[in-house]
Amino acid sequence: MTTAKRPVMATVLVAVCGLPAVASASAQGKQAKPALTSEVLRSHAHRFDITAGGLAGKGADFVRRELATHHVVLLGEYHGSKRLSEFTRMVIPVLHAAGCRRFGLEVGPTAAEILSGFCEQPGTVAQSLRELNTKWCRPTPDYTRSAIPFFINESDATFLRVAAERDWQLIGLDQEFIYGLGPVLTQAHAQLPAANRDRLRARLDATVAELDALMASEVERGDDDRSQRATATMPASATLSEYLEALDDCGPGARAVAADVRESLEIYRLYGIGDWWRSNRRRIRNMKRCLQRGLERTAFRWGRDRLFVKMGGVHTGRGLSPLMNYELGNTLAELCELHGVRSLHIDCMARFEQDGENVVDDLEQSDRNRVIRELADAKSWTIVDLRPLHKALRYEWYVADRWVRDHFLRNDWVLLPPAEPPTRENRDG
């Protein structure tokens, strides 16, 4: 089909389907299209505040109402944000009141099991995470490699405690983190029958010690030598391989952990050699398997039960993601539609950062997503509801950057936090 014929064919298809957009689309095509500007978006913006008591401000009722009327809510975060942990802490009681009891996280299944163990005692969640991070995290000159992804900061412990107080069930939706295999294998070992624990104790200790040495070697050498990165050295470890083989003989639970670790190692190996396409494809398939397992384990019933998901924004939208894959957000959107319920897809963007007494405006350095980030306020929260614009964006009634258009179509809201304060790690040392 030639490029010139595509608009004609699109009009014919719309006419056959009987959609009401034909006349409007035709009329729009005869005149100059308006630009998608911040002023267009402003009429769909809702301001609110988060206080110790929850939501406040003019937009609070809108946020509460919308959160309560969706069976699946996905928070597509940018990682390491104290503000988004605050938002999560606020969201959990609102969703709980609407009947939500399940919390999907961007961690592996066994890592979620570790966190679930901490949640059995809500009052000590922060201390349990602190002990875990102190024992297993490895600082580098640039950042700290956390044992369980995205639970290194004090604000992360706060929202997990809020979920624990409400007895929420955690679902690990990702591969096991390559820098967190020590606690994962230790957790799996603790679940073995006593005889197997005793038999494999020395082998576990040797495996964990080797993994720790490989991480230390990577930090020492830096990231320049690809052959010395953990993505290369850990999958090639004979000690680790032999321990996983031993787990295979210890029953279905241990065998499942071994399979998860092997799958994680392959995802990281492909990433390490630069085969990002296959790595991402494999990772996303694994996420969908983890979702299925988690929903089955928690006896989730579509149409009655509710789910809250907190993951990186690239994974949580509808349709084709920037990584050119149909990710977990699209899967959940389709499942909701199949079962007659609704999903709410929230993307997050930052504009301001607190630097001591000063507030730094990133728009002075970067025009990225200016059309939406101009609506952010350094002192208040803003949600821009994109849904009223989806039809106009789909039929390109506005002149908009292609990336912005596609990004907006994948999501329902954009959440713009106030200025980001510094985070504080929850570990000793």
Where do the structural domains in the chain lie, given as residue ranges?
A: 1-31, 33-175+289-416, 178-284
Least confident of 3-12, 321-330, 351-360: 3-12
- The more confidently predicted of residues 17 and 105 is 105
What is the pLDDT, as a whole number, of residue 215? 87
Rg of the chain over Cα atoms, rounded to whole angstroms, equals 23
At residue 229, the pLDDT reads 82
Question: How many of the other CB atoms lie within 10 Å of CB of 241?
Answer: 15
Residue with tokens 């101009």: 374
Token digits for 60? 């609070």
**SS3 of residue 205 by DSSP:** helix
Work out the percent of the chain whose per-residue pLDDT is above 90: 82
In the predicted structure, residue 408 carries a pLDDT above the cut 70: yes
Q: Which of 184, 127, 131, 113 is nearest to 158 (CA)?
A: 127
Distance CA 428, CA 230 (A): 24
Say what the pTM is: 0.91
pLDDT number for residue 340 = 97
pLDDT at 11 over 60: no
pLDDT per residue as tens digits for the range 378-390: 999 999 999 999 9
The residue ranking higher by pLDDT, 13 or 292, is 292
Contacts of 364 (CB under 8 A, 6+ apart): none
Can you give the pLDDT at residue 224?
60
Name the amino acid, one letter, at 182. Answer: G
Round to whole Å and give the CA distance between 350 and 80: 12
The CATH number, out of the four listed (2.60.40.420, 3.40.50.11550, 3.40.1190.20, 3.90.850.10), of the domain defined by the range 33-175+289-416: 3.40.50.11550
Strand partners, 309: 74, 104
CA distance 354 to 75: 23
259's CB contacts (< 8 A; 6+ apart) are: none
**Token digits of residue 209:** 């010690």
